[in-house]
Amino acid sequence: MTRGGRLFGLWTAALAVYAFLYLPLAVVVIFSFNDSLLNAEWVGFTTRWYGQLFENTEMLRAAANSLIIALGAATLATVLGSMAGIALQRWQSGFLRALPFLVLAPVAMPEILLGVSLLLFFRQVLDLTLGLVSILVAHITFSIGFVAIIVRVRLAGLDESLFEAARDLGASPWQTFRWVTLPLILPGILAGFLMSFTLSIDDFVITFFVAGVGVTTLPLQIYSMIKVAVSPEVNAVSTLLMALTLTLIALASKLAPDTLRGRA
């Protein structure tokens, strides 16, 4: 094959993969602006589904819940996950070698398993009333591992002698953390926060198990709406959620390029 032909083949393959990934999403975005109740044919451009969305009180309440949970879960998971990440990087001897596995396992655990076991744990062991708190705890559980990985990778990329230098020059362990370690891993911590936030705001499976009856999040609300039919309103809210998620992912990958994009 000629060089030109080979290039053409590569480009076609690449485009096909991207189309496979993004066409369904594009369809949702397009139909969210379609002036028709049916997701069948293009009738004309409108933003009225977005207008309706902001008058739908159920939807707004679900969105508010999602934001509260995402902010809370991301904040707590970031604090705990960063601490875990630092510990994983610093102590790598003896039985502590098992720690990374324990912290990272929930990342790979099937969501349905995590959902069921958390439900059992909350109801049978803790006898907790399901609601905001149970969702919050569940989201923290599966986010910690992600934050820990990102923070650990960031730390591993730093010269160990920086921390020795700080101690050597008279900084106490706390001062070393405050003035050297923290500023240097901050991008990783922020990226971890954004990742947790995105994971939390669009989680469906685990939330479905631990939400109980009173509290609804945005993904649960969308699910209950499409039981009837995929309304253009669902398209609109999905588009907004997608935009938020993509923005956060882009921000996170800018902050921690070595973790999320491969080493530059």
Give yes or no for residue 18 binding other proteins (CB under 8 A). Answer: no
Give yes or no for residue 13 binding other proteins (CB under 8 A). Answer: no
State which of positions 146-165 bind other proteins (CB under 8 A).
159, 161-162, 164-165
Candidates 136, 166, 194, 215; binder of other proteins (CB under 8 A) is: 166
Give yes or no for residue 93 binding other proteins (CB under 8 A). Answer: no
DSSP lists the bridge partners of residue 45 as 34
Tell me the C-alpha distance between 18 and 159, whole Å.
38
Cβ neighbors of 11 (< 8 A, separation 6 or more) are none
Q: How far is the CB of 249 from other proteins (least distance, A)?
A: 25
State which of positions 169-208 bind other proteins (CB under 8 A).
169-172, 175, 179-180, 183-184
Residue 42 — left, alpha, or beta (φ > 0 → left; ψ -120 to 50 → alpha)? beta
Q: Which is nearer to other proteins, 43 or 169 (CB)?
A: 169
Give yes or no for residue 168 binding other proteins (CB under 8 A). Answer: yes
Q: How far is the CB of 178 from other proteins (least distance, A)?
A: 10
Q: Which is nearer to other proteins, 177 or 223 (CB)?
A: 177
Q: Which is nearer to other proteins, 47 or 175 (CB)?
A: 175
Q: Which is nearer to other proteins, 121 or 177 (CB)?
A: 177
Query: Residue 135 has which token pair?
Result: 């969702």
DSSP lists the bridge partners of residue 232 as none
State the number of binding residues for other proteins (CB under 8 A).
17
Contact criterion met (CB below 8 Å) for 53 and 179: no
Q: How far is CA 96 from the centre of its chain?
A: 27
Cβ neighbors of 158 (< 8 A, separation 6 or more) are 184, 185
